[in-house]
Amino acid sequence: MLRLSNLSSLDHNSKISCTAENIVGGKESSLLLDILFPPKITKLSEAIPDHHWCIPFSVSGNPEPELQWFLDDEVVTEGLYIMTMIHDITEREYHGCLQLDSPTHFNNGRYRLVAKNEFGMDQREVEAHFMHKPIEGLCLHFVIVQVYVVVGIAAVAFTGFLLMLIILKFGGNSKFGIKGPSSVISNDDDSASPLHHVSNGSNTPSSSEMGPDAVIIGMTKIPVIENPQYFRSTNSLLKTDTFVQHIKRHNIVLKRELGEGAFGKVFLAECYNLSPDQEKILVAVKTLKEASENARKDFHREAELLTNLQHEHIVTFYGVCVESDPLIMVFEYMKHGDLNKFLRAHGPDAVLMAEGQTTRPVELTQSQMLHIAQQIASGMVYLASQHFVHRDLATRNCLVGENLLVKIGDFGMSRDVYSTDYYRVGGHTMLPIRWMPPESIMYRKFTTESDVWSLGVVLWEIFTYGKQPWYQLSNNEVIECITQGRVLQRPRTCPKEVYDLMLGCWQREPHMRLNIKEIHGLLLNLAKASPVYLDILG
Ligand code: ADP
């Protein structure tokens, strides 16, 4: 037996040979030393930008060490956008990268690599900085605003106090006995304190005091912009010569309430003399409850826009009725209502209570789901051809008619009934963050490509029978998740081809996403491959 001692990892893989010789001849045999030793991180360097970002490292150890990354002491969950890659192995030394795909400021921080095997562990840290926060020094900005507000209040209070003193002194001595201002004071005891007067509003800085155009999510300042669809003068859909059809009030007979929209109730109605071949047809009328000057302007703009949007998978807009309040928009009636409710009603959890008995409605089949998806994609191809960016594509904004006919039916933002689908920012702006890609969340960039992302989420909604995307997460967690590059998981009933399509919609880089026409083509082919049996919905 050859006994070896004081060996180190450096001796790993060394060749030990044994030769035996006598007068007749010789024989040699050899082996490589397999030395077990604890991990050692021999290199951990600063991040380098390449095709992807890379934090390079080298680790030795035998057996192969397990690697775990921490960012500011929190475990880094590896996935599509962050992963450990080993490029080279030499003598039990592993050389690789922590590879980051398009990291943002969320990825900045102190990266700690921990390498472990059964003989021990080693760890090392490195700082990495990929991107500045969209607005640095926001905290400072916030504090300054607070200081301004407090100083402002104090200044106004002081001026008010001085003014009152002057009024008391001179007003009270008026030879005509003018009661004016002094009576204001005596009539309202509460207002005796000038501070009360000026603080009559809000003395805490609201988001509007920070500028109406910004909102803070975590430490990120996100600009809030009005829906440019309405304000872009170059928008081909807002032509100056658009003829919006006006319908007489006496031609509309309300039948029952269908739902509550963001701006007022929606009713089922009969509309007379709308088409030459039918005396009356069923329509859905949307009412505008509060018609301020601005709301009226938006109403007319939306009516023009809707008049110019005409496609078999966009809900038909018949016209307006503005003879008196409330203002009314008239649409074609879609019998099965909004797609989200429809999906839930035809999913595994749906239970219909009919005449005291619990009966299960028919569940949607995969081919019906594909048929639904294909129609929405078709509507989106049309919108993209009109350079119209929807910004709020979701199943709640699609409508279902007879024979599983699906149309995109809502172009406004925000809905009360689905308020948890939106993230309220800057007072009244609501954002459908669960349907938004990273660039829309971080930079408020809305494009046809961001609509494609939302279409991917719509596919996910369809194949989960109307589940809320990231239902298990809070809004802040969703923002964190999406900006970190996580994507929704494959729904249980979703074929691989369809999930691949979703992944194609959720490429982080907008230009890498599938084109809307491609998506429509793929869905059409998949839908054709499995024909739909429409009658099962009854
Ligand atoms: P808003 O655009 O003001 O938020 P919605 O379009 O969301 O209003 O309408 C609210 C509800 O009214 C929908 O969830 C749907 O159930 C019903 N609804 C709206 N439009 C139609 C329609 N054309 N046909 C049938 N039901 C409709």
13-27, 159-173, 297-311: segment of lowest average pLDDT:
159-173
Give SS3 for 498. Answer: helix
Statement to judge: residues 491 and 420 lie in one domain: yes
Q: Indicate the pLDDT class of residue 355, thresholds 50, 70 and 90.
A: very low
Q: Which residues of 515-524 are buried (b: 16+ CB within 10 A; e: fewer)?
A: ebeebbebbb
At 140 the pLDDT is 37
C-beta 410 within 6 A of ligand 1: yes
**Does residue 342 sit in the same domain as residue 305?**
no
- Tell me how far the alpha carbon of residue 357 lies from the centroid of ligand 1, in angstroms: 29
Query: What is the per-residue pLDDT for 315?
Result: 96
What pLDDT shows up at residue 210?
35
Q: Are residues 371 and 502 in the same domain?
A: yes
Q: Which helix (H) or strand (E) holds 454?
A: helix 448-463
d(CA 294, CA 278): 36
Q: Label residue 483 exposed, middle or buried (CB < 10 Å: 0-12, 13-18, 19+).
A: buried
- Quote the pLDDT of residue 38: 92
The neighbouring-strand residues paired with 27 are: 20
The answer to the question of residue 17 being in a domain is no
Tell me the average pLDDT of the chain. Answer: 78
pLDDT of residue 239: 58
pLDDT at 183: 27
Q: In total, how many domains does the chain have?
A: 3
Minimum mean pLDDT range among 140-154, 304-318, 336-350, 364-378: 140-154
**Least confident piece of the model among 45-49, 71-75, 146-150, 462-466:** 146-150
Q: Identify whether 234 is part of a domain.
A: no
CATH code assigned at 58: 2.60.40.10
Asked if residue 136 is part of any domain, the answer here is no
Tell me if 398 CB under 6 Å of ligand 1.
no
H-helix or E-strand containing 384?
helix 366-385
**pLDDT band of 226, cuts 50, 70, 90:** very low
Among 128, 154, 185, the domain boundary falls at 128
Residue 299 forms part of a structural domain: yes
Q: What tokens does 49 get?
A: 């930008």
Name the residue of 338, 340, 402, 406 whose CB sits within 8 Å of the most ligand 1 atoms, as the mutation to test its pocket. 338
Highest mean pLDDT out of 127-136, 210-219, 271-280, 467-476? 467-476
Task: Specify if 218 maps to a domain.
Answer: no
Do 292 and 434 fall into the same domain? no
Query: How many residues make up the chain in this entry?
Result: 538
| 260 and 311 inside one domain | yes
Q: Please tell me whether residue 398 adopts helix, strand or coil conformation.
A: strand
Top-ranked range on mean pLDDT: pick from 262-276, 317-331, 454-468: 454-468
Structural domain includes residue 135: no
Angle formed by the axes of helices 516-529 and 366-385, nearest 10°:
150
Q: Which two tokens mark 345?
A: 């009603």
487 and 399 in a common domain: yes
Q: Is 412 assigned a ligand-binding role in the annotation?
A: no
pLDDT higher than threshold 50 for residue 17: yes
- Do 74 and 122 lie in one domain? The reply is yes
Amino acid letter, residue 517: K
In a domain, 81, yes or no: yes
- Distance, in Å, from the CA atom of 392 to the CA atom of 380, rounded to the nearest integer, reads 12
Q: Where are the alpha helices (DSSP H) in 34-179?
A: 138-166
Smallest CA-to-CA distance from 532 within 373, 343, 371 is with: 371
Do 433 and 475 lie in one domain? The reply is yes
Q: What is the mean pLDDT of residues 21-41?
A: 89
342 with 329, same domain: the answer is: no
Q: Percent helix, strand, coil in the chain (nearest 5)?
A: 35, 30, 40
pLDDT higher than threshold 70 for residue 225: no
Whether 415 is in the pocket of ligand 1, judged by its Cβ within 6 Å, is yes
CA-based nearest residue to 318, from 388, 236, 251: 251
Give yes or no for residue 145 having a pLDDT over 70.
no
Find out whether the beta carbon of 261 lies less than 6 Å from any atom of ligand 1.
yes
* 267 strand-pairing partners: 257, 285
How far is it, in rounded angstroms, from Cα 538 to Cα 534? 8
Calculate how far, in angstroms, residue 33's C-alpha sits from the geometric centre of ligand 1.
75
Average pLDDT of the segment spanning 183-208:
30
- Of 128, 153, 185, the residue at which a domain comes to its end is 128
Most confident segment among 162-171, 175-184, 387-396: 387-396
Least confident stretch, 129-133, 211-215, 476-480: 211-215
96 is in an annotated binding site: no
> Where is the domain boundary, 113, 128, 143?
128
- The answer, yes or no, to whether any atom of ligand 1 lies below 6 A from the CB of 331, is yes
Provide the pLDDT for residue 86.
Answer: 87
Please indicate, yes or no, whether residues 400 and 487 belong to a single structural domain of this protein.
yes
> Which pLDDT band holds residue 233 (cuts at 50, 70, 90)?
very low
Instruction: Give the domain range for residue 48.
Output: 37-128
Question: How far, in Å, is the centroid of ligand 1 from the Cα of 72?
Answer: 47
Indicate the pTM of the whole model: 0.59
Identify the band that residue 160 occupies on the pLDDT scale cut at 50, 70 and 90.
Answer: low
Which amino acid, 252?
I
Examine the domain organization and report whether 283 and 384 are in the same domain.
no
Residue 206 forms part of a structural domain: no
Backbone angles phi, psi at 226, to 5 degrees: -65, 160
Among this protein's residues, is 392 annotated catalytic? yes
- Does 24 have pLDDT greater than 50? yes
CATH of the domain at 458: 1.10.510.10
Domain check: are 314 and 411 in the same one?
Answer: no
pLDDT in tens, 52-64: 788 999 999 999 9
Average pLDDT over every residue of 158-179:
45
